[in-house]
């Protein structure tokens, strides 16, 4: 008889023999220890450690329907995920909360639309107990995929996708009050005597961008120009393009509120290129208060949101939802924004 | 009788009924269609599409032992993974190769040593067909975890961990010739008339750092100082600390070769702070040729390695190893380095 590596991997039976208990007892200990005396649990755990037994998760999943893993799905390509500090910071909060609950973080990102089928198979395949999804766009198939897979989900950002009602239930989400945040930014510029205030919006198929645009419009006085809006894509390059467009349309604008710090850094570069002094000629306010806001010349006045804490809350909500967290009934969370004043406005 | 969402999910039986075939036939089609006539396969696939059936991957894994997913394990905390462009670029290459083979990329990173148990359970749990591992340190438990889980692995970087031999087999890996790359860098500095050449090494529990240090020592002439070495950690802050230490020990050094571009950016900042002109007073050479090398003032002379292509090769090797790629027998790959000359040296 030939031996392969598989043959020498310790089995449930080997653990049972070593601990002097039944196969079923070992199985119960592996799956949480319900109805097994502490002394017996201890003996089984010792046998598991001695033999280096690793329970087969696929088999275990069929029994417990719990994998101990959670997917984080970011509806953006790898290049965005790794260049936008928003995602890193959100992931930091998520990662800490999941680690504290001994739950494995499994990161998936969406390179292009062809990936959705494969991501759906993975999410529906019993590899994870739930998913955190963020940066969704209004026509995103992910909520439908999660519903089809019957997978508990918590969203980052207020949902606002097409056909939302047809998916049933009240989606759980964590968001900041983007509309109130935008009002703070515009109020600050008005208080500083600015009147021709432009807005660089985020992609308007995302609710955060829509809500910030609404807040900007809420706060503008009736006699101020209301058409100084250009759409960006939350990247520095998008901010540059939008700022160039706005300067062409309105050379005498005296302030700009960008819907993200990264777009504001692009706007700053474009203003410099067109010999506008910041804040003397044009005041600039960003949104997010991430690290880049402190690196720019001049540093950015911006609307602060605690992105890491929002990540932590998303993870905590999901753990509660899948029964791995506290007993508080989960509900959407909306955090208040805060204006941070630096030199740019 | 109560209906839950689970009850209305289409089952294998429902698909079989709709297609007018047996349960076993549906199962064969789901798992690759072996021994099923094309016309019947077509009928089953239509029924699957009509009903929106998602095969249960956990059950399927027990049958086919194939999940269609591959783990990428980076032995660094999230803060490193998301701030070092090396990882983003390696992931880009991996992501493209896996997508082309319709294989799901599942990213895991290691926040601290307590995570290893959980990562081991996930890797051993039948959720992935193989793993790509990079940034391993010499005492890293990951190779042992992969061996215990009997999981095919391809490593990024020449293996050099403790107890490597005991794991058996020849590990598959992709690497650049780090020793030759370091020699190119030092040769260039010598050719420019520099003599007191310092080295900022990477963490010496990683083979890439050890090999670059060896190449640096290979190339130094016998009459040049050989003790101008300080250890960094592949981050800008580590480069700053090492450069400060080197300037204290050897104020008259006239060149520095840093084992990564990120450490070189830190060195540049420290040199500026100490009023050393680059390259006039101190010439600087980096390693990697990633984006930051072109952003610095002055831009960095550096050793180029095609990190994205190395990622692609790792993924391709693994796909071959797990039988999802071409039939070429997989073997380690070592790519040649190249010197890119810019203003810093």
Domains of chain B, by residue range, sit at 5-64, 69-175+308-333, 178-305
pLDDT score for A33 = 59
Rounded Cα–Cα distance for residues A204 and A212 (Å)? 10
Chain B residue with Cα closest to A6: B150
Chain B residue with Cα closest to A167: B5
Contact yes or no for A121 and B60 at CB 8 A = no
What pLDDT, in 10s, does the model give residues A257-288? 999 999 999 999 999 999 999 999 999 999 99
Average pLDDT, whole number, for chain B?
86
Higher-pLDDT residue of B327, B75: B75
Q: Is the pLDDT of residue B131 over 80?
A: yes
CA torsion angle A151 A157 A163 A168 (round to 10): 50
For A178-306, CATH gives 3.40.50.2300
B5-64 carries CATH number 1.25.40.20: no
What pLDDT, in 10s, does the model give residues B237-270? 999 999 999 999 999 999 999 999 999 999 999 9
Percent of chain B with pLDDT over 90: 52
Rounded Cα–Cα distance for residues A290 and A286 (Å)? 10
pLDDT score for B246 = 98
Classified by CATH at the fold level, domain A69-175+308-334 comes out as Rossmann fold (3.40.50)
pLDDT score for A51 = 75
A-B Cβ pairs (cutoff 8 Å, strict): 143
Name the packing angle between helices A12-19 and A23-30 (round to 10°).
110
Positive/negative CA dihedral, B193, B293, B85, B91: negative
Instruction: Confirm if B133 and B75 have CB atoms less than 8 A apart.
Output: yes
Element (H, E) at B304: strand B301-304
Contact yes or no for A99 and B122 at CB 8 A = no
Low-confidence residues of chain A: pLDDT under 70: 1-10, 30-35, 52-65, 161-169, 324-329
Distance from CA of A117 to the nearest CA of B (A): 9
Contact yes or no for B122 and A85 at CB 8 A = no
Residues B100-118 have a mean pLDDT of 87
Classified by CATH at the fold level, domain B69-175+308-333 comes out as Rossmann fold (3.40.50)
Find chain B residues with C-beta within 8 A of A74's C-beta. none
Percent of chain B with pLDDT over 70: 87
Q: What is the architecture of the domain spanning B178-305?
A: 3-Layer(aba) Sandwich (3.40)
What's the Cα-to-Cα distance from B299 to each of A144, B293, B342, rounded to whole Å?
48, 6, 6
Q: What are the structure tokens assigned to A33, written together?
A: 């220890």
Strands B197-201 and B229-231: parallel
- Can you point out the beta strands (E) in A226-265? 229-231, 255-258
Q: Is the pLDDT of residue B190 over 80?
A: yes
Instruction: Confirm if B244 and B270 have CB atoms less than 8 A apart.
Output: yes
Find chain B residues with C-beta within 8 A of A95's C-beta. 78, 109, 111
Q: Which residues, in sequence order, are bridge partners of residue A134?
A: A74, A156
Find chain B residues with C-beta within 8 A of A82's C-beta. 82, 85, 87-88, 91
Find chain B residues with C-beta within 8 A of A55's C-beta. 121, 125
The domains spanning A5-64 and A178-306 adopt the same CATH topology: no
What pLDDT, in 10s, does the model give residues B49-93? 777 666 554 454 445 557 889 999 998 888 888 888 899 899 999
Does this complex have an ipTM over 0.85?
no
pLDDT score for A61 = 47
Chain A residue with Cα closest to B123: A57
Determine how many CB atoms are found less than 10 A away from the CB of residue A305. Answer: 23
Rounded Cα–Cα distance for residues A15 and A27 (Å)? 10
Indicate the range of A177-181, B167-171, B298-302 predicted with least confidence.
B167-171
Find chain A residues with C-beta within 8 A of B60's C-beta. 125
Contact yes or no for B125 and A56 at CB 8 A = yes
Chain A residue with Cα closest to B96: A111
Higher-pLDDT residue of A41, B179: B179
A-interface mutation test, from B54, B89, B91, most A Cβ less than 10 A away: B54
CA torsion angle A325 B142 B82 A320 (round to 10): -10
Residues B302-306 have a mean pLDDT of 94
pLDDT score for B135 = 87
């Amino acid at each position: 008889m030939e031996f392969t590596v598989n043959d020498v991997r310790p089995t449930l039976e080997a653990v049972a023999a070593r601990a002097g208990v039944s196969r079923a007892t070992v199985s119960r200990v592996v799956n949480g220890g319900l109805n097994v005396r502490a002394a017996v649990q201890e003996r089984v755990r010792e046998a598991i450690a001695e033999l280096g037994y690793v329970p087969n998760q696929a088999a275990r999943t069929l029994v417990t329907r719990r994998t101990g893993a959670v997917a984080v799905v970011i509806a953006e390509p790898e290049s965005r995920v790794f260049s936008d500090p928003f995602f890193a910071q959100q992931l930091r909060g998520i990662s800490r909360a999941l680690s504290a609950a001994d739950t494995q973080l499994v990161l998936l990102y969406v390179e292009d639309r062809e990936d959705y089928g494969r991501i759906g198979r993975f999410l529906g395949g019993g590899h994870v107990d739930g998913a955190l999804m963020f940066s969704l766009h209004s026509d995103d198939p992910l909520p439908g995929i999660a519903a089809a897979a019957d997978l508990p989900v918590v969203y980052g950002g207020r949902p606002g996708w097409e056909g939302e009602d047809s998916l049933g239930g009240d989606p759980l989400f964590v968001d900041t009050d983007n509309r109130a945040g935008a009002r703070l930014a515009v109020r600050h510029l008005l208080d500083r005597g600015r009147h021709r205030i432009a807005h660089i919006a985020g992609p308007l198929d995302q609710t955060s961008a829509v809500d910030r645009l609404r807040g900007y419009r809420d706060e503008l006085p009736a006699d101020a120009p209301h058409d100084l809006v250009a759409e960006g894509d939350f990247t520095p390059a998008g901010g540059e393009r939008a700022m160039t467009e706005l300067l062409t349309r309105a050379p005498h604008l005296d302030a700009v509120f960008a819907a993200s710090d990264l777009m504001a850094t692009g706007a700053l570069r474009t203003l410099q290129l067109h010999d506008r002094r910041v804040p003397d000629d044009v005041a600039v306010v960003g949104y997010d208060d991430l690290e880049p806001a402190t690196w720019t010349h001049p540093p950015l006045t911006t609307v602060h949101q605690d992105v890491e804490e929002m990540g932590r809350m998303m993870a905590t909500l999901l753990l509660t939802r899948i029964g791995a967290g506290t007993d508080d009934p989960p509900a959407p969370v909306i955090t208040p924004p805060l204006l941070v004043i630096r030199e740019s406005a």
